[in-house]
Amino acid sequence: MVVDKTKLGVSFFDESFGGVYRGRQVLCSGRKGSGKSILTCQFLGQALQDGDKALLLSKYRAQDTIIIAESVGLPFAKAVTEGQLTILEYTSFIPESNASSNVMLPPQSFMELQETVESQSIRRVAFDTVLPWVAIQPVARIAEHVYSFIHAIERLGVTALLTLPKPVSNPAFTLKSRLEDLCPVVINLDHKEGEQRVLRVTKYLGEIKNLSTPFPFVIAPGSGIMTEVAFAELQKNSPPQAPSMAAQPPAPTPPSQPPPEAPPAQPKKPISFSSVIRFPE
């Protein structure tokens, strides 16, 4: 069997590791604001660049996701219009009668996902977040359930990205550990009050180099996740702005701020996760 790789969509990662394993899973965890949703957008953007069809399942509104993607230079609006990208909100999987109760996705949800992947010949799928599929009760069933979920994803034949919030309870740590055991590539994102962003690869099956080595990065407007060196070079090579035609001198440009990982707007019918497996809001 030939081991095949495909790019993750983050240049410094792909240069260091040669991409990720095609048809397998990548787990990306991190606290709120660390860049998980931006990385998700770049993962899907790589599919668009490769000419593949992609699917995003998200707890955020589709329009908000498009706004975030466009802010880092990814043409999600065009891709959705042309049918190359499909964005599904988790609320669309939940029956109206259960929308406000503490439920996971109903059992038929995976069959709907499978039908979408097969009917549209989708090659990449991102779960931002994967919680609705794996956060179950009782905790004793987590290992069995996660095993079944990961192998079901593999049978779809897609390259998948799973995002996970930073755990804050013992059951949540158990869930994260089970996912790490089964995913061949595991990435952790961290930051300190929106600064000092760091990406660490804590697992890469078959590789030893660069594991746990910190990769400092920034989220650059119009470009997304990149190293600080690459961002400095980008700014250096950016063409100077045209002089203002107004009589008064132009107002100083405010310092660039990285786009937020997730939009503040919430779905009208937010999904509620298990009260047993708790993650920070």
Mean pLDDT of the chain, nearest integer = 83
pLDDT at 75 over 60: yes
Tell me, what's the pLDDT at 258? 54
Reported residue count of the chain is: 281
Q: What is the percentage of the chain residues whose pLDDT exceeds 70?
A: 80
Enter the DSSP assignment of 269.
S
> At 124, is the secondary structure helix, strand, or coil?
strand
Structure confidence at residue 2 (pLDDT) = 75
Segment holding 163, helix H or strand E: strand 159-165
- What are the sequence ranges of the domains in the chain? 14-237
Q: pLDDT, tens digit, for every residue of 236-281?
A: 877 665 554 444 445 555 555 555 554 444 343 333 333 333 333 3
pLDDT grade for 215, boundaries at 50, 70 and 90? very high
* CATH code matching the domain that covers 14-237, chosen among 3.40.50.300, 1.10.1060.10, 3.30.710.10, 3.40.50.800: 3.40.50.300
Q: Which long-range contacts (CB under 8 A, 24 or more apart) does 222-228 make?
A: 222/71, 222/72, 222/73, 223/72, 223/73, 224/10, 224/38, 224/41, 224/42, 224/45, 224/72, 224/73, 224/74, 225/10, 225/35, 225/38, 225/39, 225/42, 225/199, 226/10, 226/11, 226/12, 227/12
